[in-house]
Structure 1
Amino acid sequence: MKARLVQDGIFTLVEDITQTAYPPQHGFYWIDAEPEDLDILQPLFHLHELAVEDMLTEEEQRPKIELYDTHYFIVVNSIRFDDEEIFLRALNIFLGKHYIITITRQKINEIRAVKPVLWEEKVTSPDQFLYHLMDLIVDNYTIVGDRIDAKIEKLEEDILMHTKKSHLNEIIGLRGEILWLRKVLVPQKEVLFTLHKKELRLISEPLKKYFGDIYENAVKISETFDTLRDLMGNLREAYQSSLASRANDIMRIFTALTTIFMPLTFITGIYGMNFEYIPGLHSHYGGIATVVFMVIVGVSMFILFRKKDWL
C-alpha cells in the first residue's frame, strides 16, 4: 500500500497512513492499495461494509457505482489485449471528499499511466483524478477495438488466401470475446452516465461535462464492438464460402482427371481382352504406337479443358 499527497500534480509519499484520514490544507490523498489493506483502510475512512464485502468475496465484479453518505464506491474494468486473449481486470475505487483509494488484485497499466497526466494537468482534487483515470480506461477500449479490427482484417486475408480448419476456431473464439466485451460495456456505460448526469456532491459541476465526453466515447466504442460482431458473422460466411469454393475446385480437378483417363482406360481395356485378332497386337511397333496414341489423347483433352477453363 502506498499513500501519496497530491498537490497540483506533485506527489509526496505519506509515511503515516493515519494522517490521510484528515483533509490536507491543499490537494488530496491518493492511496494505492490491495484488498488485504482494507483491514486498515475500512475503519480509517469508515468505508461501507457492503462495498468491502463485495470486493473481498467477488473476484469478478460487474461495473457499478454505489453512493454512500461520505464516499462513493466505483467498480470499472480495465482491458488488455495480447493478440491471443482479452483480459479484463477489476479496478475498485473509493472516492471521498479529500481522498481517492484505488484497489486492485493485479497490476493495471492505467494506474501507472495516470501519474504523468496528473502532473501535466496539475490535478488538485480526487474527482479530477477519477476523471483522468476513467478517460485512460475508456481510451484503452478504443485501442483494443482497433487491434481487434486489424486482427479481423488479417484473418480475412488469410482465409481468402489459404483457408485452414484452425481459422474457424479463431473466428468462434474472437466472436465470443467480442460478445463478452459488449456485455461488459453496458454496465460500464451506466457508471459513466451516472457520473455525467446524476447530482453528485463529490463530483464538481464543471467536471460533469467532461465525464459526458467520456460517456460519448464509451457509446462509440460499444457501437464499434457491434460492428465488429457483424464483421465476425461476415467472416464466418467468407470462411464457409471459401471452403465450398475450394471443395468445388478439388471436385472439378478430380472430374477432369477422371474424364481424361476414361478413353485411356477404354484403350487399355480393349488391348487387355483375350482376343487373338486385335489390330496391331502382333506388330513390333504396336505397343509403342498404342502408348503414343494414348499420350496424344490425354494431352489433347488436357489442352481442351485448359482452353475452356475447366482446369
Structure 2
Amino acid sequence: MQDWQPAHDGEVLWPHLDRTADGAANWMQSMLPASEATIDVLISNETRPRVFREGDGLVGVLRGINFNPGDEPEDMIVMQVWAEKTRVVTLRRRRLQTPRDVLARLQETGTGPKTAGDLAIALTRELVSKINSAIADMNDRIDELEADAADARPEDLLGEIGGIRRTCLAFKRYLSPQYEALAQLQRDPLDWMSVSNRNTIRETLDRLSRCLEDLDVPKERALVLQDDLNNRAATEMNRTMFVFSIIAAIFLPLGFVTRLLGIDVGGMPGVNSAGAFWITVLILAVIVGIEFMLFKPMKWL
C-alpha cells in the first residue's frame, strides 16, 4: 500500500487506520504530502471538530455517534480524515459505525462513492445521518417516558431523563463546531471536488443545521418532563408530611394527658379507682372529638 499508485483514472485508495497502532504515524509521514503539524492533528486525541486545507489535501476532524456496546451515545467518537484527489485516509481510535456502513454499501450493492470527493462527502453525510437518527430516537424515548410518567415513580424516571439532557448538551457541544467546519468547507471547496460534491456539502450542512435546531426539542421536552416529575414528587412529599403533621397534631394533646397521668408522684387522682381508666379514655375521646371539630373548618381533614 505504501507504493500504491492509481493504475487508471478514477481509482481511489481508502486506508482506514487505527491511529494508535504501531507504525501509523510513520506510514502517514512517509505517504502523505502533509506537514508534521497536520500529521499531529491526524493522530492526536484532539476532539474539537475542524476542517482545513493543506495544499491540495483536505484535513478533517469530525465527531460521530458512539454505538459501541456499553458506551454512551454522547461519548462521540473522533474520526480524522485526510483526502486528496486519489486517496482518502480515515483514522479512528475506537470502532466507528460510519466507515463500516459506507464500505458495506460498496461491497453489497456496488453503489456508493466513486471518487475521493464522493467518499469524503459520503462519510460526512453518514455521520450527520446517524446523529439525526439518534435525535429521533431520543424523541421517541421521551414519548415513552411521558406515557409511563403517570404510573411510574418519579425517581425511576429522573435518572434517564437526566441522561437525555446530558446527551443533548454533549451533542450541542460537538455539533456546533462541526457545523462551522463544514460551512468553511462549503465556502472554500477543493478543486478536485465536483459540483455534485459541493451540492451534497450544502445539503449535509442544511441537515446538520436542522439537527442543531432539533436538539432543542428533546432537551426542552426532557426539562419539562423533569420539572413535572419533580413537582409531583414534591407534591407527594408535601402530602405525606401533611398527613404526618395531622397525626402528630391529633396525638400531641393525647400524649400530653397520658404522660401527665403517668407521673409517679403522690396525689394522682383515680389511682385507687376501678373506673378511672375508662374515665381517662372518655376524656381522651372527647379531646379527639374537639380536635376534629377544630380541624374540619380549617380544612385540615
How would you bin the TM-score normalised by the shorter chain?
A: 0.7 to 0.9
> How many angstroms does 1:123 deviate by?
3.1
| TM-score (ref. length: structure 1) | 0.75
1:18 corresponds to:
3
Letter in 2 for 1:179: L
Unaligned 5+ segments in structure 1 are: 1-15
Whether 2:105 is the aligned partner of 1:103: answer no
Q: Distance in 2 between matches of 1:168 and 1:159?
A: 16
Q: Distance in 1 between matches of 2:37 and 2:106?
A: 30
Letter in 1 for 2:27: I
> How many angstroms does 1:59 deviate by?
0.6
Letter in 2 for 1:162: R
Paired residues, what number?
292
SS in 1 for 2:65: strand
Give percent identity, aligned residues only.
Answer: 19
1:182-221 pair list within 5 angstroms: 182-221=172-211
Q: Distance in 1 between matches of 2:298 and 2:153?
A: 25
Q: Distance in 2 between matches of 1:299 and 1:111?
A: 78
Instruction: Provide closer, same or farther for how the CA distance between residues 17 and 299 of structure 1 changes in structure 2, counting only shifts above 3 A.
Output: farther
CA RMSD of aligned residues (A): 3.9
- The correspondence for 2:169, drawn from 175, 179, 184, is 179
Instruction: Provide closer, same or farther for how the CA distance between residues 60 and 152 of structure 1 changes in structure 2, counting only shifts above 3 A.
Output: farther
2:122 corresponds to:
132
2:27 corresponds to:
40
SS in 2 for 1:208: helix
Letter in 1 for 2:34: L
Q: Distance in 2 between matches of 1:276 and 1:223?
A: 82
Higher mean C-alpha displacement, 151-160 vs 246-255: 151-160
SS in 2 for 1:146: helix
SS in 2 for 1:80: coil
SS in 2 for 1:18: coil
Unaligned 5+ segments in structure 2 are: none
Q: Distance in 1 between matches of 2:227 and 2:106?
A: 47
Higher mean C-alpha displacement, 109-118 vs 175-184: 175-184
Instruction: Provide closer, same or farther for how the CA distance between residues 94 and 235 of structure 1 changes in structure 2, counting only shifts above 3 A.
Output: same
SS in 1 for 2:56: coil
> How many angstroms does 1:185 deviate by?
0.8
> How many angstroms does 1:138 deviate by?
0.9
Higher mean C-alpha displacement, 191-200 vs 204-213: 191-200
Letter in 2 for 1:256: I
- Describe the superposition over 1:65-100 as per-residue Cα deviations: whole angstroms up to 9, x where unpaired: 111222111111112165756212211111111121
Whether 2:78 is the aligned partner of 1:90: answer yes
SS in 1 for 2:42: helix
Instruction: Provide closer, same or farther for how the CA distance between residues 85 and 128 of structure 1 changes in structure 2, counting only shifts above 3 A.
Output: closer
Task: Say if 1:195 and 1:203, in contact at 8 Å, map to a contact too.
Answer: no
Instruction: Provide closer, same or farther for how the CA distance between residues 260 and 25 of structure 1 changes in structure 2, counting only shifts above 3 A.
Output: same
Instruction: Provide closer, same or farther for how the CA distance between residues 309 and 115 of structure 1 changes in structure 2, counting only shifts above 3 A.
Output: farther
> How many angstroms does 1:281 deviate by?
6.2
1:74 corresponds to:
60
Instruction: Provide closer, same or farther for how the CA distance between residues 231 and 303 of structure 1 changes in structure 2, counting only shifts above 3 A.
Output: farther
| TM-score (ref. length: structure 2) | 0.77
Letter in 2 for 1:215: L
